[in-house]
Amino acid sequence: MRKPIIAGNWKMYKTIAEALEFVQAFRPLVVASTHCEIVIAPPFTAIKSVAARLDGSNIDIAAQDVAAEPGPGAFTGEVSASMIKDAGARWTIIGHSERRQFYGETDDSVNARIRAALVAGLSPILCVGERLEDRDAGRAEEVVEAQLSAGMRNLTASEASRIIIAYEPVWAIGTGRTATPETAQQMHAFIRSGIRRMFGEGVAEETRLLYGGSVKPDNIATLMSQPDIDGALVGGASLEAGSFASIVNYKEKR
């Protein structure tokens, strides 16, 4: 059985004080939530404080990005995987569409970041997803397949088994327009078949596939009822403790 993961991506929101305020409100709301793994990705500046506050809890910390170079080295502005781990995170998001769109992230640099994360012992959450024009042109699967195979190029099956994949259609991020559960399921099944082709049945069956893009308390349960959706990567709705907790606790509403 694949244990679900509900992850919150805070993007460029929250000072350290705001992050700690969130944690104080959020932790008691999910203290009994053992049905899924819970992950929060604060900005780099808040990782250490949040991780220290959540030590010994059932909430894990992720970074939102990681340097492609293992380092240490002369790479101004970059944060290495071992630094992230040192600050208290166990996971990192890689290749988010905002990084691809606004900061020139490519499939090659995504691949290098995955390697750097794996070497340092971080669990990568690899983001893939098509733009609206790709979907309208009937190229959604082709685009996702290319991102997946280039992003995971030259990995062994045991390395691949440590990766979590987030399918985030760009047209659904921050737009309030969620993919229907059926559309998301279709792409998740397609992604799982791609993993099966690249790394075999065992890895395909184990790999957790998260959906991201306008996930909210009122649509999480139907998304999670799809057979190939193993969790969610949540942006906007993860910023408020009550709303993120009701996404984490989606089971109770079924």
Which parts of this chain interact with ligand PGA (CB under 6 A)?
A: 9, 168, 173-174, 212-215, 233-237
Our CB check for ligand PGA shows the closer of 87 and 237 to be 237
Our CB check for ligand PGA shows the closer of 43 and 71 to be 43
The interaxial angle of helices 16-26 and 241-248, nearest 10 deg, is 50
Helix (H) or strand (E) holding 142: helix 140-151
Which residues belong to the active site?
96, 168
Q: How far is the CB of 203 from ligand PGA (least distance, A)?
A: 24
Q: How far is the CB of 6 from ligand PGA (least distance, A)?
A: 12
Q: How far is the CB of 200 from ligand PGA (least distance, A)?
A: 29
Our CB check for ligand PGA shows the closer of 148 and 233 to be 233
Residue 38 token pair: 């819970």
Q: How far is the CB of 207 from ligand PGA (least distance, A)?
A: 18
3-class secondary-structure state, position 247? helix
Our CB check for ligand PGA shows the closer of 126 and 204 to be 126
* Cα–Cα separations (whole angstroms), residue 96 to 13, 197, 239, 240: 16, 24, 18, 21
Which residue's CB atom is positioned nearest to ligand PGA? Answer: 235
